[in-house]
Structure 1
Amino acid sequence: MIDKKTMNEDSVEEYDGIAEDIFGPIYPIIVGQITDKCNITTGICLDIGCCGGHLGVAMAQATNLQVILMDRLENALKIADARIIQKGLQKRMYTLLGDVHQIPLPSNSIRLVISRGSVPFWQDRPRAFQEIYRVLAPGGAAYIGGGFGSIEQKERIAQLMKEKDPSWGKDKKYAAKERRKGLEEEMHKAGIGIYEAINNESGNWMCFRKPIIN
């Protein structure tokens, strides 16, 4: 199985296959949760650490957002480009090679930033959160974290993943608790004091907005 700390160009295809075959049903559910919370369905959306683009594609299909799929791995973007074409979304989606620590986009240009599962890859999380905040447009929102959409989906995925790797899921509850604590500390280090931590049995997310200054 792929270790998040060691995923590289060579392991992207395996990771994308798991995302497609096992995790596939969760993305529309998570998109619904994001749109309900953030209430942003038009403008530009940035999906950070997109890998094969599953979350961003689901967002484009459910809204009128223009979606940028960003990843630091070129092989991930090749898969994402193919998925965009397969879904017929070329007019509203494109890929971007970039790193969350130095996002290659102008300040105040993105209405919605999303990311599922990429945080464990970030080397400097306060810097990453600062960059996300920088590119957000006033009134824009970010929804960052990880989860399965629902308890039912979490249980289904756990069963399938344990069939692939019996050690999958061990100590995840403790790890999730520690990860939540760490993320909140890193948000404060980034200077983002106003946010909502969304924590439940199916996932853990951070949601924050850039205020509109009159």
Structure 2
Amino acid sequence: MHRPSVFYSILEPIYPFLVQQFADDYGLNRGIAVDIGTGPGFLGTELAKITNMTVCFVDLNEEALQSAKERFMVSETDNEALFVRADVKALPFEDGFADFVMSRGSIWFWEEPEKGLSEVYRILKPGGVAVIGGGLGRYVPDSMRRRIVAANRDRLIRSGETRPCFKDFSRMIEDALLEKAGVDSFRMISEGEEGDSGKWVEIHKNGDGKRGGLS
């Protein structure tokens, strides 16, 4: 899940905006948050800056986790933090562990997304929420959005890399959640009308902890 540093340097300005959006949308302040596929730890660190949540940074790549730990340490936040090397399809947390789970940009690299999504659902507390996908969020200023999109496009052209395709995201998620993971309490979120605009899935666990019922 660890990506080249140039990728994160382009995206770095968006993380405070995206985390503030999450905090506002889901009323985040206390409890346990899990940042899956954390990479250098931008999301988790920014969340710690504006909430009192315990943040669990999770990545399969040891180098990425070390980078996340270093970033968190220099942020001088006082939140409790855990750094866990794990695969999303076998998370080492008990059932009902987390109040909030977030993951940006990693699901396209999961080998078995249905198992990962099932694990995300399993570790959510009743009443908890997870938001997983990719995009820049609603709070990013238009000028910043245009600059980042252009810079990332140029980077991909120079490197020959391909960007995650958002066009089939809804189909992939619905197949993984409904047919394989057995999670049906979710909704799709799109950042725009274009096929390659940001896409997210918001997963809710019912208050009784049972599966079922579209939120």
Query: TM-score, length-normalised on structure 2?
Result: 0.84
Q: 1:105 to 1:61 in 2, by over 3 A?
A: same
Match of residue 123, structure 1, among 103, 111, 118: 111
Shift of 1:171: 8.7
Task: Read off the aligned partner of 2:183 and give its amino acid letter.
Answer: I
Question: What residue number does 2:175 align with?
Answer: 185
Q: How does 1:1-214 map to 2 (within 5 A)?
A: 12=2, 15-19=4-8, 21-89=9-77, 91-149=79-137, 150=140, 151-166=142-157, 175-189=165-179, 190-201=181-192, 203-213=198-208
CA distance in 1, matches of 2:103, 2:84: 14
Task: Kindly report the root-mean-square deviation, in angstroms, between the aligned alpha carbons of the 2 structures.
Answer: 2.4
Unmatched tracts of structure 1, length 5 or more:
1-6
Q: Which runs of 5+ in 2 are unaligned?
A: 210-215
- Counterparts in 2 of 1:164 and 1:68: CA distance versus 1, 3 Å: same
Question: 188-197 or 176-185: which moved more?
Answer: 176-185
CA distance in structure 2 between the partners assigned to 1:116 and 1:132 by the alignment: 14
- The equivalent residue for 1:4 is none
8 Å contact from structure 1 (residues 16, 51) kept in 2: no
Structure 1 distance, partners of 2:53, 2:45, is 10
- Across the two proteins, how many residue pairs are aligned to each other? 201
Q: Is the 8 A contact 1:44 1:67 kept in 2?
A: yes
CA distance in 2 between counterparts of 1:199 and 1:114 reads 16
Name the CA shift for 1:70/1:90 in 2 (closer, same or farther; >3 Å). Answer: farther
Q: Give me the identity figure in percent.
A: 31
Partner amino acid for 2:4? Answer: Y
- Residues 96-123 of structure 1: CA deviation (Å, up to 9, x unaligned): 1111000011111110000000101111
